[in-house]
Structure 1
């Protein structure tokens, strides 16, 4: 009786090995599968390059949004008695040729430079992505015509194109056109000259995506072209464009500084790093601090966005090791 009771008990009660195996397999059954962006975010959090660049960009964005928290002085106040004075406890970065506090101007200059970079990137990426989607999806004469049209802008030197566009904008305008108008002109100029790059990236991704089975299935079910483009092709083609946009944002900030240095972009009373660098060109040897600090902030900002773009590219590209 004792043996038979123990046998019945062993049949009714699950064994320890069964419980352990069920416990071991349960997490695998309930674990959610991560998508492309989930895996990318998981990988990015482990990359020191991403963390360092993200911290730098976050600090720069806070400075651009709230410059008064970091510099209480007016960036346009002129004290000619202190013109070109070296850095000191009173003015950490010294004074420029008009006696303006360089530290305050560097802090306040971050706003204009970053705003131009962000909106230029949005314009170039949105315009280029839309044209690239249409050309890559429809192909044929549509793709050929749009590609030839993009090559016109690709073959145009940036500085020459900027001179032509900005001169056209400013034709017939007397005096200072206003801060918002000037910034809009610079944004449109950069966007018009830079959109073909994102167009080519999106076009290549769209051509690859439209060959996939899920797109063919959607066509077989009678889905409209708009639904296929925006519901199926766009979500699976946006990753390389996002990588380009991250890197391009830093490049466009540098382009704004280039245009301002040449006198084609932003102008006083707007405060930007490009204007500060332009003001320092006649005082490179007598007052090198006028060039050093705005150039340093410009280089750090561009480098931060380029490093962020490199980290995002490595995380999104499964071929990278």
Structure 2
């Protein structure tokens, strides 16, 4: 745009403001649309019983992970007495005792930290890989899109649990420090490495749909760099489906961690997690069923909480789902 054209545009804006008696407003169409989307979504969520059910459960379990001593009533999960081995629930010990005579309520409460930590770290890894690869593939297209999409297809051929199991099995022999020890970080990396493809496809499709918009063309005409266009104009309009997917995936990865730990390739003692408790209690199912029942119930409720929030958020952000 030449200097003369800019002056003419400014003159027209002044004239419009003079005619109406008001100053000509400067309207950011993209920001207005985003604000309207999230405002409408919040209005829908406030009326959703499903969202509030998931949110209340989620807050309880996150609080349990952050402040376990409050929920465990100050009991140390490693303070054990073999005389109480496999003790049944009572008024003094609500969930009974495990095989080592440790208070089981304290163990279940402290198990929330590792399980939720793996879920959150895994989702962050999924978003990092998925958003970056999907944004590059969708924005540049052509050969770049083809290569990155085929790489994603290769990873799609391996199921999440199987891929993470293999990586955790061979991880110590590779010498890689990230997965050399089966701690929460190693399990989260293994799950993220084989769980990013759906996020990548979501971002890619959104970027392809948004990059042809008029405001993107205007930003390009004004000399904005590709990075600025992606970060400031495209990705903010592609975040809604990714946010829904991330919320649901936290629950999926928590269940996946429990599965890997149950199979013996996830967390290892002396770590505390729901998957370890279920694995250790399976051989005592007939004599002490509470050792499997209680961590299974808490694990199920945690996974359900994030899935309920994700489903409610999806419906709120999709106008077609609104009544």
TM-score norm. by structure 2 comes to 0.85
Max Rg structure? 1
Pairs aligned (count): 286
Partner-residue secondary structure (3-state), 1:118:
helix
Q: Residue 159 of structure 2 corresponds to which residue in structure 1?
A: 157
Structure 1 runs not aligned, ≥5 long: 1-31
Q: Is the 8 A contact 1:76 1:269 kept in 2?
A: no
Q: How far, CA to CA, are the matches of 2:174 and 2:162 in structure 1?
A: 20
> Who is 2:308 aligned against?
307
Alpha-carbon distance change, 203 to 108 in structure 1, aligned in 2, over 3 angstroms: same
Counterpart in the other structure of 1:134: 136
Query: Which residue of structure 2 lines up, in the alignment, with residue 70 of structure 1?
Result: 71
1:261 & 1:121 partners in 2: Cα distance?
21
- Structure 2: distance between partners of 1:308 and 1:266: 27
Contact 1:78 1:98 in 2 (8 A): yes
In structure 2, the residue matched to 1:6 is none
1:172/1:178 CA distance change after superposition, 3 Å: closer
> What TM-score do the two structures reach when normalised by structure 1?
0.85
| Correspondent of 2:148 among 127, 134, 146 | 146
Report the counterpart of residue 290 of structure 1 in structure 2.
291
* Residue in 2 that maps onto 1:12: none
| Post-superposition offset of 1:172 | 7.5
In the other structure, the counterpart of 2:251 is 250
Matched-pair contact (CA < 8 Å) for 1:123–1:191:
yes
Gapped regions of structure 2 (runs ≥ 5): 1-31
Matched-pair contact (CA < 8 Å) for 2:130–2:199: yes
Selected match of 1:125 from 110, 127, 140:
127
Relative to structure 1, the CA distance from residue 170 to residue 315 in structure 2 (aligned partners, 3 Å threshold; closer, same or farther) is: same
Structure 1 consecutive aligned stretches of length 4 or more whose deviation exceeds 6 Å: none
Instruction: Spell out the pairing of 1:210-221 with structure 2 (5 A cutoff).
Output: 210-221=211-222
Q: Give the secondary-structure state (helix, strand or coil) at the position aligned to 1:84.
A: coil
Instruction: Report how far residue 215 of structure 1 moved.
Output: 1.2
